[in-house]
């Protein structure tokens, strides 16, 4: 059966963002997921497709309200995406009329709730803080990696390498980020964050995401930044992260790293049968 016949009326999707970190969302809770690596890459092209930082496929699951599968725009998969998780939490809360749910990702079960001011807060779980769980290629000091600039590392369901610099806005984000993404110390590649400390409760962050490139915000990255900055002795456990697309509130508590911020539904769309046929 061809894609064109299967989706003669096209394939519905949503476009959402959290602080400019943007997502295409496909609901496969009532059918098998149609997304392939080639389709994910095609949809991710901003001129020939829709464009996104991550694609999220929703499926049914036992023991949680929804299961999430994350695709990067280069066609690779990821176990975690914080801002997308907040967007999906908002959708499911809107469907069910509740203000607290549980979501499943490759990083396990994640609790989410709506705050009194309409923000979405997600517990991204405890960070991975051993070399083999980040993961790294060998056992090294995670607070100061043996890389020029002595970055710190933490896993949040995906690997993160965090550089503390004098001015994050002055960093060659594409050049330096792409170089570190594929550093030999990170066997699964890594997200790369450059930060500078404003005060013990405030951090400026810019991100080069594994498989996506420069993004306006990165939720799992903000969680990793808060963890690394605190472990370096630079900040408190609860901080405001200033990203290019806005602010996230991060609080590393006993039960995990909580991330709170806004979400936006941009539009509803439909991928045409013509487009779907062309990407097979």
What range defines the domain where residue 44 resides? 3-124+263-278
What is the number of structural domains in the chain? 2
Residue pLDDT tens, the chain, 280 long: 334 346 778 999 999 999 999 999 999 999 889 999 999 999 999 999 999 999 999 999 999 999 999 999 999 999 999 999 999 999 999 999 999 999 999 989 999 999 999 999 999 999 999 999 999 999 999 999 999 999 999 999 999 999 999 999 999 999 999 999 999 999 999 999 999 999 999 999 999 999 999 999 999 999 999 999 999 999 999 999 999 999 999 999 999 999 999 999 999 999 999 999 998 7
- CA torsion 121→122→123→125, rounded to 10°? -150
Residues 120 and 160 in one domain: no
pTM of the predicted protein model = 0.93
- Beta-carbon-side half-sphere exposure of residue 248 (alpha carbons within 13 Å): 36
* β-bridge partners, 155: 128, 159
CATH number at residue 15: 3.10.310.10
Query: What does the alpha-carbon distance between residue 120 and residue 169 come to, in Å, rounded to a whole number?
Result: 27
Residue 130, domain member (yes or no): no
Active-site residues, by number, are 81, 218
Q: How many helices (H) and strands (E) does the chain have?
A: 6, 17
DSSP type of residue 32: -
């Amino acid at each position: 059966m061809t894609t064109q016949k299967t989706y003669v009326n096209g394939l519905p999707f949503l476009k959402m963002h959290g602080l400019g970190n943007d997502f295409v969302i496909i609901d496969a809770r009532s059918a098998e997921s149609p997304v392939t690596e080639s389709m994910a890459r095609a949809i991710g092209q901003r001129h020939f497709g829709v464009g996104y930082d991550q694609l999220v496929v929703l499926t049914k699951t036992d023991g949680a309200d929804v299961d999430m599968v994350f695709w990067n725009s280069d066609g690779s998969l990821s176990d975690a995406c914080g801002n997308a998780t907040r967007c999906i939490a908002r959708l499911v809360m809107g469907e069910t009329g509740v203000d607290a749910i549980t979501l499943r990702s490759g990083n396990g079960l994640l609790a989410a709730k709506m705050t009194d001011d309409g923000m979405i807060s997600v517990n991204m779980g405890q960070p991975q803080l051993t070399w083999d769980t980040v993961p790294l290629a060998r056992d090294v000091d995670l607070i100061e990696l043996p890389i020029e600039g002595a970055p710190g590392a933490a896993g949040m369901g995906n690997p993160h390498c965090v550089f503390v610099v004098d001015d994050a806005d002055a960093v060659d984000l594409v050049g330096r980020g792409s170089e570190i993404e594929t550093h030999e110390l990170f066997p699964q590649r890594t997200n790369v964050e450059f930060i500078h400390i404003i005060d013990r409760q405030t951090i400026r962050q810019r991100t080069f995401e594994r498989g996506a490139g420069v993004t306006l915000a990165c939720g799992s990255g903000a969680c990793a930044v808060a963890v690394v900055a605190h472990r370096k002795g630079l900040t408190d456990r609860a901080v405001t992260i200033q990203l290019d697309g806005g602010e996230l509130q991060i609080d590393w508590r006993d039960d995990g790293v909580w991330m709170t911020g806004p979400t936006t539904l941009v539009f509803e769309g439909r991928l045409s049968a013509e487009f779907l046929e062309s990407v097979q």
